[in-house]
Amino acid sequence: MGARLNTDMSAKALLRRELLAARRLLTEEDIERAAAVLARRALELPELSGARTVAAYVSVGREPGTRALLDALRTRGVRVLLPVLLPDNDLDWAPYEGAGSLAKAGRGLLEPDGERLGPDAVLEADVVLLPGLAVDGRGMRLGRGGGSYDRVLARLSAAGAHPALIVLLYDDEVAARVPEEPHDHPVDAVVTPAGSRRFGDG
């Protein structure tokens, strides 16, 4: 079992390197164009169009852009929660009050500067938007490897909360298979500039 786990972990590390290298080739124009289309595609999902509270994140670097989506959700009156990284890699949450309320934080992140609501605030979300690098046909997501969202998903599971889990990616990041470990949770849907796809019964 230990050998299998190590193999899955090294396979994840290799895939992460490949995907991050591909993202580094994207131009600013590529990223901006994809972000605008992603926002439109995401808002077409019934889960998002009917949500009252969405736990999201601020994209940085060459991640698929979320800022247009965050502003569109807020304009629609949706309560948007954004993560605040804690020293132990867990996530606190704070409300999104617009681009002007974002402050630079560690690891190149942008975080809301408003009131902290506590790690359990995510339990109120109807939808959780997850960052990622890839997803496969089973809905298994490859994250960045920091473990923060593993804690969020474990917290949701322990509380019996079942928000829609949605990952935003570029078109070529929907993979044939993503290596998984026992703690990994499948997502319900992926949104790319080309469209959206649901997994399982969600």
Measured CA to CA, the distance from residue 43 to residue 50 in angstroms comes to 9
Is 6 a residue whose pLDDT tops 60? no
Residue 142 assigned ligand-binding role: yes
Q: Is 14 annotated as a binding residue?
A: yes
Q: Is 106 among the annotated ligand-binding positions? A: no
How far is 47 from 146, CA to CA, in rounded Å? 27
Least confident of 3-7, 77-81, 114-118, 167-171: 3-7
Q: Which residue has tokens 């500067």?
A: 113
Please check the confidence at residue 5 and state whether its pLDDT lies above 70.
no
Q: What is the pLDDT of residues 93-140, one digit of tens each?
A: 999 999 899 999 887 889 999 899 999 999 999 999 999 999 999 999
pLDDT band per the 50, 70, 90 thresholds, residue 202: very low
144 annotated as a binding-site residue: yes
CA gap 37, 33 in Å, rounded: 7
Q: 2-198: CATH homologous superfamily? A: NagB/RpiA/CoA transferase-like (3.40.50.10420)
3-state secondary structure of 129: strand
Q: Is 74's pLDDT higher than 70?
A: yes
Does the annotation flag 25 for ligand binding? no
Contact 111, 94 (CB under 8 A): yes
Is 96 a known ligand-binding residue?
A: no
What tokens appear for 165 in the block? 């889990």
Least-confidence region, from 2-16, 23-37, 107-121, 141-155: 2-16
For residues 105 and 85, the answer to whether their CB atoms sit within 8 Å is: yes
